[in-house]
């Protein structure tokens, strides 16, 4: 999970979304997304599922350090 934030940032940018837009989808403050992307916070399971749904990827892809984004 140490690379979760990095993957979130890459997916967000790839989809042309701002941190604020992702935060609105997740119903959290933008600073929460910032802290996740910087590795300061690890999201809870429900949020991981919502993020996976937003970007149409598997939760495994987000959580496992060994799996890379295509």
Spatial contact of 36 and 42, defined as CB atoms under 8 Å apart: yes
Residue 70: pLDDT band (50, 70, 90) is low
Is pLDDT of 21 > 80? Answer: yes
Distance between alpha carbon 41 and the CA centroid of its chain, in Å?
Answer: 11
Q: How far apart are CA 24 and CA 39, in angstroms?
A: 20
Q: How far apart are CA 65 and CA 47, in angstroms?
A: 18
Residue 6: pLDDT band (50, 70, 90) is very high
What pLDDT, on a 0 to 100 scale, did the predictor assign at position 2?
A: 77
Return the domain boundaries, the chain.
Answer: 4-61
CB contact set of 64 (below 8 Å; sequence gap of 6+): none
First to last CA, the chain: 18
Q: Does domain 4-61 have CATH number 1.10.599.10?
A: no
pLDDT digits (tens, 9 = 90+) for 45-61: 999 999 999 999 999 98
């Amino acid at each position: 999970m140490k690379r979760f934030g990095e993957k979130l940032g890459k997916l967000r940018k790839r989809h042309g979304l701002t941190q604020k837009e992702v935060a609105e989808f997740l119903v959290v403050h933008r600073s929460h997304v910032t802290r996740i992307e910087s590795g300061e916070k690890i999201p809870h399971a429900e949020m991981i599922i919502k993020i996976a749904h937003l970007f149409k990827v598997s939760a495994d892809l987000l959580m496992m350090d060994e799996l890379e984004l295509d």
